[in-house]
Amino acid sequence: MAEINYREIGLKVGLEIHVQLDTARKLFCKCPTTLSDAQGVPEFTRYLRPAKSETGEVDAAALLEWRKSKRYEYEAPQESSCLVEADEEPPHEISEEALLTALAVARAMNMRIIDEIHVMRKIVIDGSNVSGFQRTALVAVNGFILDEDGKIGIQTLCLEEDAARKISESEDATRYRIDRLGIPLIEVATAPDIYDPEQAMRVALKIGQLIRLTGRAKHGLGTIRQDLNISIRGGAKVEVKGVQHLYLIPKVVENEALRQLRLLGLRDELVKRGVRPEDIVFNIVDVTEVFKNTASKIIRRVLSTPGGGVYAVVLPGFKGLLGMELQPGRRFGTELADYARVWGGVGGIFHTDELPNYGITEEEVRALYGKTHASPDRDAIVIVADASEKAVEALKAVVERARMALTGVPEETRAANPDGTTRYMRPRPGSARMYPETDIPPIYVTPELVSKAGELVPEPPERKLERFVREHGLSVELAKAILGDLRLDLYEKLVKKYSGRIPASVIASTLVNVIPSLRRDGVPVENIDDDSIEGVLDMVARGAVAKEAIPEILAGVARNPGKLVEDIVRELGLSTVSLEELDKLIDEAIARNREKIEARREKAFQIIMSEVMKTARGKVDGGLVAERVKEKLKGLTV
């Protein structure tokens, strides 16, 4: 693949960063903001209906969810949910701690704080909010942060409640646990001021770090989530939801830019072939007959169910285009299949660009062309095997999507896959999804409130840099690196905690050198949470392990999620060598190398050091070994 020049294709990226807050209570009730592990039976079940929004129109995305007509089951752990989450009690007043944190972040990002904050109801009817809406408030607007490539506009900062956790999903029911519902989230949206994939990650990191520096952010997996708005010139604004890891951001951006570029190419090809929108008609053909003796297991299984059939639509002029790759491993046909799945609830589609295959024979493909009167040289055929009602909906969506190919890139909301590709989720929601939460009075932002928030405003980076060099003794380079790390707040906490016991440079280096280098080696470092980093450093501070062992222990932590740090240390055999053992090791080394030492007296130290360290590395501090070796050599009479 040729290198894409992102400036040239007019890439624009905007970010939406969501950070969970670690407040004493939830945003609108008195439950703690902790999650529950207890597996519970479903406590209650509900259905949702779309409500008319303020504009009097039911939103397209909302309607889509409703059409799926899902039953929602909710697990309601008693220690972390109450009647408010169950939508059986009106919300309580907003958590002041959360509000202050939001105001502090707003100030740190040079934003204009709204004079009177109004909590809104944002319609969300996938069941993740028991009420059918998410409570959210716009707290501040029009700020900026500085990136090395320039100013990044910060459009909005919202304070909102997190949704329930999805536990499982079946055809007719989705199960959620409502412990997470109501945990405060800060949502920061940037302007589309980002022009390349790496910059997107850098800015996301900066924003996440800023919020964490208030000391009120939650840490760990799932506590920061980022959505990306991506477009290229001539393409369309596409929202990618649920990018879980920062380091995936550049890849998602690259893949989406590529997809839009390829879709534009696809459009040009269709135009060249003379395909017009009116040629793409929804004309469904029952082709069950073609497959009555098929070898395809999938089709045979469908045909054995009552009402199961095979249905086809022709996409005139699309021959070969469905097999065109848009993202690594994802073709235009995959896009069509996504639409079919989402709108028709079918398992997938078959299309002639990938046939014969999957047990479908060349003969059947020929019959398919015959039956649909399509041209084998020019047209593509999409088939769906399912109950007729679902198949019709699925193929309708396929045809609609195919028609959109003629205009290029459709505006849509996509979900991030773990490999950095994306899949179609739903149309982009309209703006008609909000109305006031009348149960919560508007919050008048007084000067007292703003100054109280001032106590949480993070220290500016320049001042931090200067302080890290002067007070912590970091090199400028290391200080800069730690300032650019998401775990900056952890660094500050640990430096304070282990002051005088572990040098700040060791802590900084663990975060900005050790972990990234483990990632480069393919270690799953996302499993290393802040607590285990602290656990490792704690052992170093106690002298239980040497600082040289940190990389190896952290690698162990990453590979054994859930295991105690102490157990990993024991299993790796990294426990410290006692002083007596060290002395013994040195004595033995001297004895073994007596001749060498005598021969090269000036090299004695190096010789013994390297011998001892062969055994002691990682188990005892190198400085201590040097000290003991010098001591022993001094007393050595040759």
State the nearest-atom distance from the C-beta of 129 to another protein, in Å: 8
- For position 48 contacting another protein by CB under 8 A, the verdict is yes
CA-based nearest residue to 103, from 137, 126, 153, 131: 137
CB nearer another protein, residue 45 or residue 407: 45
- For position 67 contacting another protein by CB under 8 A, the verdict is no
Task: Yes or no: say if 218 and 98 are a contact pair by the CB < 8 Å rule.
Answer: no
CA atoms within 13 A on the CB side of 61: 19
Please report which helix (H) or strand (E) contains residue 415, including its range: strand 412-416
Cross-strand bridge partners of residue 283: none
- For position 54 contacting another protein by CB under 8 A, the verdict is yes
Question: Residue 269 corresponds to which tokens in the numbers above?
Answer: 């090809």
- For position 239 contacting another protein by CB under 8 A, the verdict is no
Binding residues for another protein, total number by CB under 8 A? 52
State the nearest-atom distance from the C-beta of 132 to another protein, in Å: 3
Stretch that binds another protein, among 48-56, 163-171, 174-182, 227-235 (CB under 8 A): 48-56
Q: How far is the C-alpha of 420 from the C-alpha of 426, rounded, in Å? A: 18
With H, G, I as helix, E, B as strand and everything else as coil, classify residue 331: strand
- For position 114 contacting another protein by CB under 8 A, the verdict is yes
With H, G, I as helix, E, B as strand and everything else as coil, classify residue 403: helix
Among 222, 329, 370, 436, binds another protein (CB under 8 A): 436
Q: How far is the C-alpha of 617 from the C-alpha of 546, rounded, in Å? A: 8
Q: How far is the C-alpha of 106 from the C-alpha of 154, rounded, in Å? A: 9
- For position 365 contacting another protein by CB under 8 A, the verdict is no
State the nearest-atom distance from the C-beta of 86 to another protein, in Å: 6
Phi-psi sector, 359: left (phi>0), alpha (psi -120 to 50), beta:
left
Q: How far is the C-alpha of 410 from the C-alpha of 318, rounded, in Å? A: 18
State the nearest-atom distance from the C-beta of 103 to another protein, in Å: 14
- For position 626 contacting another protein by CB under 8 A, the verdict is no
Stretch that binds another protein, among 25-33, 134-142, 288-296, 305-313 (CB under 8 A): 134-142
Any residues with CB less than 8 A from the CB of 278 and at least 6 apart, and which? none
Among 46, 92, 165, 396, binds another protein (CB under 8 A): 46
Stretch that binds another protein, among 120-128, 212-220, 255-263, 509-517 (CB under 8 A): 120-128
State the nearest-atom distance from the C-beta of 563 to another protein, in Å: 35
Task: Yes or no: say if 299 and 310 are a contact pair by the CB < 8 Å rule.
Answer: yes
State the nearest-atom distance from the C-beta of 191 to another protein, in Å: 13
CB nearer another protein, residue 375 or residue 446: 446
State the nearest-atom distance from the C-beta of 58 to another protein, in Å: 10
Among 10, 90, 215, 561, binds another protein (CB under 8 A): 90
- For position 55 contacting another protein by CB under 8 A, the verdict is yes
For helices 476-483 and 488-497, give the axis angle rounded to 10 degrees: 120
Among 14, 132, 208, 618, binds another protein (CB under 8 A): 132
Question: Residue 492 corresponds to which tokens in the numbers above?
Answer: 């500050």
Any residues with CB less than 8 A from the CB of 439 and at least 6 apart, and which? 90, 91
Stretch that binds another protein, among 128-136, 287-295, 495-503, 629-637 (CB under 8 A): 128-136
Among 121, 202, 414, 632, binds another protein (CB under 8 A): 121
Query: Could you check whether the bond before residue 461 is cis, i.e. omega within 30 degrees of 0?
Result: no
Stretch that binds another protein, among 229-237, 325-333, 425-433, 560-568 (CB under 8 A): 425-433
Stretch that binds another protein, among 51-59, 177-185, 225-233, 463-471 (CB under 8 A): 51-59
- For position 138 contacting another protein by CB under 8 A, the verdict is yes
| Whole-number Cα distances in Å, 121 to 11, 178, 219 | 33, 18, 27
Q: Please, where are the H alpha helices in 573-621?
A: 579-592, 594-599, 604-616
CB nearer another protein, residue 55 or residue 517: 55
Distance between first and last Cα of the chain: 68
CA atoms within 13 A on the CB side of 370: 8
- For position 36 contacting another protein by CB under 8 A, the verdict is no
Among 6, 27, 106, 133, binds another protein (CB under 8 A): 133
Among 4, 51, 284, 367, binds another protein (CB under 8 A): 51
Stretch that binds another protein, among 55-63, 264-272, 415-423, 592-600 (CB under 8 A): 55-63
- For position 193 contacting another protein by CB under 8 A, the verdict is no
- CB neighbour class for 418 (10 Å; exposed up to 12, middle 13-18, buried from 19): exposed
Q: How far is the C-alpha of 508 from the C-alpha of 505, rounded, in Å? A: 5
Q: What is the CA radius of gyration of the chain?
A: 30
CA-based nearest residue to 214, from 25, 35, 21: 21
Q: Determine how many CB atoms are found less than 10 A away from the CB of residue 453.
A: 23
State the nearest-atom distance from the C-beta of 435 to another protein, in Å: 5
CB nearer another protein, residue 137 or residue 346: 137
CB nearer another protein, residue 23 or residue 53: 53
- For position 56 contacting another protein by CB under 8 A, the verdict is yes
State the nearest-atom distance from the C-beta of 7 to another protein, in Å: 28
DSSP code for 172: S
Among 22, 75, 85, 87, binds another protein (CB under 8 A): 87
- For position 130 contacting another protein by CB under 8 A, the verdict is yes
DSSP code for 124: -
Among 293, 304, 438, 637, binds another protein (CB under 8 A): 438
- For position 159 contacting another protein by CB under 8 A, the verdict is no
- For position 449 contacting another protein by CB under 8 A, the verdict is no
Q: How far is the C-alpha of 561 from the C-alpha of 581, rounded, in Å? A: 32
Q: How far is the C-alpha of 87 from the C-alpha of 90, rounded, in Å? A: 7
CA-based nearest residue to 92, from 137, 28, 33, 160: 28
Among 67, 112, 301, 470, binds another protein (CB under 8 A): 112
Among 30, 49, 233, 614, binds another protein (CB under 8 A): 49
- For position 432 contacting another protein by CB under 8 A, the verdict is yes
CB nearer another protein, residue 49 or residue 366: 49
- CB neighbour class for 598 (10 Å; exposed up to 12, middle 13-18, buried from 19): exposed
State the nearest-atom distance from the C-beta of 166 to another protein, in Å: 17
The phi, psi pair for 144, rounded to 5°, reads -160, 160
Positions touching another protein (CB under 8 A) are 44-56, 62, 83, 86-90, 112, 114-118, 120-123, 125, 130-133, 136-138, 141-142, 156, 158, 431-436, 438, 441-442, 444
